[in-house]
Structure 1
Amino acid sequence: MTTPSAFPDRPVRVTAHLDTPLSRWLWLVKWLLAVPHYVVLFFLWIAFSVVSVIAFFAILFTERYPRTLFDFNVGVLRWSWRVAYYSYGALGTDRYPPFSLGEEPDYPARLDIAYPERLSRGLVLVKWWLLAIPQYIVVGFFVGGFHAGWWSGGLLAVLTLVAAVILAVTEKYPKDLYDLILGLNRWVLRVVAYSALMTDAYPPFRLDMGGSEESRAGTGPQGHR
Structure 2
Amino acid sequence: MNGQTLTLTARSGESLSRWLWLVKWILLIPHYLVLLFLWTAFVVLTIVAYVAVLITGVYPRWIFDFNVGVLRWHWRVNYYGYAALGTDRYPPFTLADDPSYPARLDIARPERIARWRPLVHWLLAIPHLVLLNAFVAAPVWGDYDAPTRERAVVSIGVLGAAVLILGFGLLFTGRRLSGLYDLLLGLARWGYRVLAYVALMTDVYPPFRLDQGDAPTIVEHHGP
Fold conserved between structures, TM > 0.5: yes
Normalised to the residue count of structure 1, the TM-score between the two structures is: 0.85
Written as runs of structure 1 = structure 2, the 5 A alignment for 1:1-225 is 8=3, 10-128=4-122, 130-144=123-137, 154-213=157-216
Stretches of structure 2 that go unaligned for 5 or more consecutive residues are: 139-155, 219-224
Match of 2:146 in 1: none
Higher relative contact order (CA 8 A, sep 6+): 2
How many residue pairs get aligned? The number is: 201
State the shift of 1:144 in Å.
2.5
1:54 counterpart SS class: helix
Percent identity (aligned): 56
1:185-216 superposed Cα distances (whole Å, 9 cap, x missing partner): 0000000000011011111001111121278x
Letter of the 1:89 counterpart: A
Q: CA RMSD in A?
A: 1.6
CA distance in 2, matches of 1:60, 1:105: 34
Q: Report which of the two has the higher share of strand.
A: 2
CA distance in 2, matches of 1:141, 1:13: 24
CA distance in 1, matches of 2:202, 2:157: 26
Tell me if structure 1 keeps the 8 A contact 2:10–2:216: no
Tell me if structure 2 keeps the 8 A contact 1:19–1:94: no
Letter of the 1:99 counterpart: F
CA distance in 1, matches of 2:84, 2:75: 10
Tell me if structure 1 keeps the 8 A contact 2:7–2:105: yes
CA distance in 1, matches of 2:5, 2:160: 26
CA distance in 2, matches of 1:214, 1:132: 19
The structure with the larger Rg is 2
